[in-house]
Amino acid sequence: MVKVDFICSIIGASINFCVGCIIFLKNRKHLLYKTFSFLVWSIFVWNFFQSLEYKIRLTGMEITLIHPKTWLFQRLNSIGVACMPTACLHFVMTLIEMKKKKVLLLSYFATFFLLGSLLTPWAISHSWGYVLLSLHLPIYGYSLYLLWYGANRTTSTLERIRLRYMFGIGVFGIVGGYLEVLPIFGIPSPSISNLIVSIWILLMVYIILKYRMFDIGEIGNTFVSLSIIGVLLFGFL
């Protein structure tokens, strides 16, 4: 199963990195493009450094917190995890043109708090995991609420369909991602979160292309080419 996790995490990292680059470079001045790139690059960081942990396991080396590589990869992995909810909220609020600066500032404050705590021994304790969930779940929940609210508020049929699709994909990705943390609390779960997140980004690419969420023209060939290069590059690191 570790080999499957490694492959899925490499594929997910490559796709997220390439999608983020394409969107950001297309219109780096537009906030919607920047916030979406921030989201998928956060997932890339999580996927990529998690894949390096899986690569260590494939060599037969035992994963321990005192191993320098493991310590580094877990901290870098956690940077992506800490940033994802706020990146998601910022993107959703920009997408539906919701301006609630105080809510967004609180979310960024929570992210910076978690990032700062990664420099302390507390970050490897169970209590840190509980704090992570207590900060992340409300942010993700509010992001999903805004997508549903935006879908019901809009008068555009196309926009309504697009936002409802994104709501469903969001639930799928968030639930799948949190399967990864359940074993930390002694709850058994299938190790399929990397597979689910890889499917999530493919579904997002489908929504982007089908419903023209971004003005990126025909990027199919570019996306496929960059994704293949990304898989080969990250796979050999």
Distance in Å from the first CA to the final CA of the chain: 20
Please give the pLDDT value at position 66.
47
| Cβ neighbours, 10 Å, residue 32 | 16
Q: Which pTM was predicted?
A: 0.85
Which of 40, 41, 52 has the alpha carbon at shortest distance from 10? 52
Question: What does the domain layout of the chain look like in residue ranges?
Answer: 2-235
Considering Cα of 225, then 76, then 140, then 175, what sign does the dihedral take? positive
- Enter the tokens of residue 126: 């169970």
Task: Give the amino acid at 77.
Answer: N
Render pLDDT for 143-188 as a digit per residue (tens, 0 to 9).
Answer: 999 999 999 998 888 889 889 999 999 999 888 888 777 666 666 6
Question: Which pLDDT does position 118 carry in this prediction?
Answer: 85
Nearest to 69 by CA among 45, 48, 51, 53: 53
Does the pLDDT at position 207 exceed 60? yes
- Per-residue model confidence (pLDDT) at position 219: 52
Q: Which amino acid, 157?
A: T
Question: Is the pLDDT at 211 greater than 80, yes or no?
Answer: no
Residue range 23-43: mean pLDDT, rounded: 88
Alpha helices in the chain (DSSP H): 2-26, 31-58, 68-95, 101-117, 126-153, 157-178, 193-210, 220-235
Work out whether the CA dihedral 20, 86, 153, 170 comes out positive or negative.
positive
- CATH number among 3.30.70, 1.10.287, 1.20.58, 1.20.1070, domain 2-235: 1.20.1070
Mean pLDDT of the chain: 79
